[in-house]
Amino acid sequence: MRILDLKDPGQLKTLSIPQLESLAQEIRSFLIQSLSKTGGHLSSNLGIVELTLALHYVFESPKDRLLFDVGHQSYVHKILTGRAPRFVTLRQRHGLSGFQKREESPHDPWEAGHSSTSLSAALGLAVARDLQKESGEVISVIGDGALTGGMAMEALNNIGMRKEKVIIVYNDNDMSISPNHAGFKNHLTTLRSSRAYRSVKRDVKAGLEPSPALLNGLSSIRDVLRDSLVDGGLFQQFGLDYLGPVDGHNLPELIRTLETAREHHGSVVVHVRTRKGMGYAPAQQDRTGQWHGVPPFDPATGRFRSSGCAGEESWSLIIADAVSRLAAKDPRITVLTPAMANGSKLLQFAAKYPDRFFDCGIAEEHTVTAAGGMAAGGLRPFVSIYSSFLQRAYDQVLHDVARQHLPVVFGVDRAGLVGEDGDTHQGIYDIAFLRTIPDVVICQPKDAQEAQDLVYSAFLHSDPCFIRYPRGTTAAKRKDVLEEIRTGTWTWFDEGTPEQIVITYG
């Protein structure tokens, strides 16, 4: 079956396992060739090919609702639901979204560019289904990185106590955007296989004629077997049944396990082990996160095609370098980020000052409040966070940092319009919501030197300071000397006339 001929995922049900395996390789080749021209999220989608095929083989979208947490790993889902011909427009104006998009397809029941929301949304959809006496499964595909988010934990707690059935596919690749550092992932990756439990349960049910009394007894036996043969770990503590771990690149095993989950009564976690970047050596070997979201590249060599101009550096790198320079002289300076170490160019700082660098996982609220605690304890924290992710920590900025007048410096990365990532990532709200908070400083540099000077100036303040800077690059003209820029300072380039004055912010 040709990829461009795929119109509906129901077509997969006519294929044999060898044909599905062949299709998986064709999809990988298609993704590599297509994204080499447009850019996009490569590694996460290469790692989820067989899993997405198995999901659509077992379930019936859109009757069964598939939610992909964050959504940047939904490219294979888009291909299988008839959108392959539109991949030439991926992440372009009026083109195919890089995430699930409700208006784009009936197969996209939920959309999000932020992590850790799918479990709450899945429960909501399941409640709506049951109250309206509808049928169909609700399946959330969530990665180990997204499970470091507190919202995901809140949802697990609620799902475990509810009667509505949700199938949680835990995609365990030991990575979020870059390697996970949270203690939670160490616990999850020790989960043992429940194959023995499933085999015993299947054999007992097949060999005995069931009766109510016998089934009650079998239920008790099942619980003992589960507790002795299956370590469902944290999921089991939440009251959720657990299947796995399953090889995420073994289609027969995936299909059998997902069929078990489909027939199961009550919410269940399917633990799937995958390899991010599977099938493309540069992406599969990457442990820094540079192949998570890629610009156009040469598929033969794996070299990225330059998108910047000669003599320019990214704003993120300029800011990170300034923080590193100051940290060399001030041992109180620490750096925190909610899993954005690579995107915010903080890997060099992390290598140089490992004891002063904190990748908090995808947990923006925790990151900001932890920084507040450090400031209250006498340190000078710098929080690097994307503008659209800072939205998630508004209460912590207001209540835990600003209200206490704690000297936390925030690097608001990706401020302004961000282009290809679309409306979920546009950094266009931070000015509005930060200006509602008393006693904070908001600033934005016009060039590389001013960016460094603003970092230096922010650390001289005793109140929270927010330095906004855009995605992209600027001329890398910087002096060795850092100078203070006082609050309220403006640079006048031309007096002009009243009809010609242009006031810029940054």
CATH number of 3-194+230-284: 3.40.50.970
Pick from 28-37, 365-374, 477-486: least confident:
477-486
Are the C-beta atoms of 272 and 53 separated by less than 8 Å?
no
Per-residue confidence band for 344, with pLDDT thresholds at 50, 70 and 90: very high
Q: What count of residues does the chain have?
A: 506
What pLDDT score does 226 carry?
Answer: 42
Asked whether the predicted pLDDT for residue 489 surpasses 60, the reply is: yes
Domain residue spans of the chain: 3-194+230-284, 312-475
What pLDDT score does 230 carry?
Answer: 42
Q: Does residue 276 have an active-site annotation?
A: yes
The residue annotated as part of the active site, out of 83, 91, 226, 276, is: 276
Per-residue confidence band for 466, with pLDDT thresholds at 50, 70 and 90: very high
When the pLDDT of each residue in the chain is averaged and rounded to a whole number, the result is: 86
Cα gap 335→408, rounded to integer Å: 10
Cα gap 91→39, rounded to integer Å: 8
Q: Which of 172, 164, 124, 112 is nearest to 148 (CA)?
A: 172
* pTM summary value: 0.82
- pLDDT tens digits, 23-40: 999 999 999 999 999 999
Are the C-beta atoms of 147 and 116 separated by less than 8 Å?
yes
- Please report how many Cα atoms fall inside a 13 Å half-sphere around the Cα of residue 444, on the Cβ side: 15
The residue annotated as part of the active site, out of 50, 111, 364, 365, is: 364
Asked whether the predicted pLDDT for residue 205 surpasses 50, the reply is: no
Section 269-275 average pLDDT: 94
What pLDDT score does 287 carry?
Answer: 78
Asked whether the predicted pLDDT for residue 101 surpasses 50, the reply is: yes
Asked whether the predicted pLDDT for residue 11 surpasses 60, the reply is: yes
Cα gap 312→264, rounded to integer Å: 56
What pLDDT score does 423 carry?
Answer: 82
The residue annotated as part of the active site, out of 78, 392, 468, 478, is: 392
Q: Does residue 479 have an active-site annotation?
A: no
Burial class of 189 by CB neighbour count within 10 A (0 to 12, 13 to 18, 19+): middle
Section 202-219 average pLDDT: 46
Both tokens of 25, joined, read: 């390789």
What pLDDT score does 379 carry?
Answer: 98
- pLDDT tens digits, 139-158: 999 998 888 888 999 999 99
Q: Which of 72, 194, 50 is nearest to 142 (CA)?
A: 72
Section 352-359 average pLDDT: 96
Cα gap 505→496, rounded to integer Å: 18
Around Cβ 275, how many Cβ atoms within 10 Å?
17
Chain mean position to CA 3: 27
Asked whether the predicted pLDDT for residue 194 surpasses 60, the reply is: no
Q: Does residue 65 have an active-site annotation?
A: no
Both tokens of 82, joined, read: 């008839």
Cα gap 341→219, rounded to integer Å: 47
Are the C-beta atoms of 111 and 99 separated by less than 8 Å?
yes
Cα gap 392→435, rounded to integer Å: 16
CATH number of 312-475: 3.40.50.970
What pLDDT score does 173 carry?
Answer: 84
Q: Do domains 3-194+230-284 and 312-475 have the same CATH topology?
A: yes
Which residues does 275 contact at the CB level (< 8 Å), separation at least 6?
47, 173, 248, 249, 284
Place of tokens 């509808």: 134
What pLDDT score does 175 carry?
Answer: 57
Both tokens of 1, joined, read: 């079956």
- pLDDT tens digits, 41-98: 999 999 999 999 999 999 999 999 999 998 789 999 999 999 999 999 998 888 999 8
